[in-house]
Amino acid sequence: MTDVHTPERRSKNMRAVRSKNTSPELLVRKLLFARGLRFRLHVASLPGAPDIVLPKYRTVIFVHGCFWHGHDCYLFKLPQTRTDFWQSKIKANSERDLRNAETLRLAGWRVLTVWECALRGRLRQDKDELGDRLARLVRSDRESLCTEQRHIPANRVAPADMPAE
């Protein structure tokens, strides 16, 4: 299937895709701030430049878009053009994410991943519940954390496994 946009238009569209201050990231920041948590943003000295860093709790939060980070959920759909390129790109992003998370863990940081599907779409989580859950998790002593709708690998924790207050 051919691209519906001209190369110039596609280039313009791709340039507009932000990596910082995305809508999901702004929502997570708002939820954390409303619950009294203070943080730093995009700390370049840490592996992967986490979206949100809570030094007091030695916790970092990555807010991942389901497409760009290859999340196996209903929001992810591989483009029908340049399939090999996109498979390679998304696989490399996922591998980099795992390396960065492991490096952070080895350095004594707790890693929390919030997936886009937890924040938008038909299966999104209630914002107040999600904010409360995130605040609880940040203040807990859990080693590794994740918010999403399905079971995940051992190095991540699904919502059903999150501790109650």
* CATH code for the domain of 98: 3.40.960.10
Q: Which domain holds residue 113?
A: 7-161
How many domains does the chain contain in total?
1
- Inside any domain, residue 25: yes
Q: Quick check: is 79 in a domain?
A: yes
Q: Return the H-helix or E-strand segment holding 145.
A: strand 144-147
Neighbouring C-alpha atoms within 13 Å toward the C-beta of 135 = 17
pTM of the model: 0.77
CA dihedral sign, ordered 76, 81, 84, 85: negative
1 domain residue, yes or no: no
CB 146 within 8 A of CB 115: yes
pLDDT in tens, the chain (165 residues): 566 767 677 566 555 555 678 989 999 999 999 999 999 999 999 999 999 999 999 999 999 989 888 888 888 888 888 889 989 999 999 999 999 999 999 999 999 999 999 998 888 889 999 999 999 999 988 765 565 544 333 334 334 334 444
Other beta carbons within 10 Å of 43: 16
